Structure 1
């Protein structure tokens, strides 16, 4: 029976698509890191709550009821009520999607531009590489949050501009990572063979180089989402991001800072949720790096 089972498994492995087989191998490695696996499951849970939660809540996140203002956690108000009598649990559930959405969109926008810049810089080299890298060095000279603050002061305080500002300070990191990977890949023999066969630069870059350097890009994206969420929440906390009465987590946290001693629950729960988001993406990103690192393969 064992020989038959082995034959069946071998046949199934042959019929599986390469993508499915790669995913199984990746998940097998990821399972070895229990902390990363926990982070991955927590991310999935947070995304589900962000999507489904607002549909299941019975209260309006903007509805005020001054008869219950500053009420602590109870059976009716799980996270208590704020200084306007708004249910904090409802606001946190709605704000979770807003905050995570800012993190995802900023990472996608900044990552896309950074990847393109890094590919062009690394592949063509020479003067193009020098000009691009000097511009990247200028951006890297500014701490990320200070750069975002400067951009928000120019563009104006709203969520769209927060996404743009956070995306801009994501560009240098992605560009440097992709440039380094491109420099290491473009001189390999199969790239020289494609050039000899007359393949265009665009085909070589996007079909043969980019697919082979996706691992560090994916890892950096997963780690940067945590940074983007923290930066977006920080900007909203300072009054430069989401504006009242938006239930964005940083804005809710900002609402509670004047009542820390008398009604600490207003700031406690959105702060804990922000911490969970950042923790989940950081531990998952670390595990992802171990699972996707070729040096870790046996």
Structure 2
């Protein structure tokens, strides 16, 4: 295990941008966990005597239209946005993996029914599907996680189904069947570990999509509700002050960009490191 981790890190380290993305993600996670305990301003309490102030020594990122410190709100919002990204990817990924591996392993009518359902979900753009689901379920953080997770299921399911189809007819799987191993044992002990690479890569890439979707929903007023300091909500607060106080939208926009960029470059690097076809 240690040797395989060292080999993976060695291959990943060849892609400098992916390594930088990985370190940036670690830093952002640490800030999201520790940062809220170190801030001195209240992220939701208004201070109308300090409204629309520009960046200064006291307010590093300035203040918003309610006088709230933007740096403090971003630190608190980072944990909310990344939590939505991680949990929606976890929920959608686990469900999609189970659906995809069952579909690919059993085939036949089971495969046909499941894949047609996945095709229906894929017919809608992810953000549009999430928006429709939140509109039905109600606008709050929990429903955003559920909506973004549901939009992730078909992508994971199709990737896992394809990998399962390529793996289930290999000789060692036939040998396990001949020895009388149960379907559950074959699926979870022998197939799943051997198709984990594309799942890990897709998960790292989808977190970026989930963060964008969550921020987009909050920007539209369909996600975290005021006065929540979710990054998309902070960005939405600044759209009416783009010319007079552009810093309100600038800094949360930059943080969202950093999160998405970090996970995308890390995902690309992990794909190169885990895919044997990419290694010479």
**1:27 aligns to 2:27 (yes or no):** no
**1:85 aligns to 2:67 (yes or no):** yes
The equivalences for 1:83-162 within 5 A come to 83-162=65-144
**1:43 aligns to 2:25 (yes or no):** yes
Q: Which residue of 2 aligns with 1:246?
A: 228
1:180 positional shift:
0.2
Name whichever of 59-68 and 120-129 sits farther off: 59-68
The equivalences for 1:162-177 within 5 A come to 162-177=144-159
1:296 positional shift:
2.7
Q: Which residue of 1 aligns with 2:268?
A: 286
1:27 positional shift:
0.4
Structure number with greater Rg is 1
Partner Cα distance (2:160, 2:110) in 1? 15
1:297 positional shift:
3.4
Q: Which residue of 1 aligns with 2:209?
A: 227
Q: Given that residues 272 and 279 in structure 2 are in contact (C-alpha distance below 8 angstroms), is that contact kept between their aligned partners in structure 1? A: no
1:65 positional shift:
1.1
Q: What 5-or-longer segments of structure 2 have no aligned partner?
A: none
Q: How many aligned residue pairs are there?
A: 280
Q: Which residue of 2 aligns with 1:56?
A: 38
Partner Cα distance (1:145, 1:72) in 2? 33
TM-score (norm 1): 0.93
Which of 181, 192, 199 does residue 163 from structure 2 map onto?
181
Deviations 1:120-164 (A, max 9, x none): 000000000000000000001111111111111110100100001
**1:274 aligns to 2:256 (yes or no):** yes
Q: What 5-or-longer segments of structure 1 have no aligned partner?
A: 1-18
Deviation beyond 2 Å, 4+ runs, structure 1 = none
Partner Cα distance (1:49, 1:150) in 2? 32
TM-score (norm 2): 0.99
Partner Cα distance (1:92, 1:156) in 2? 24
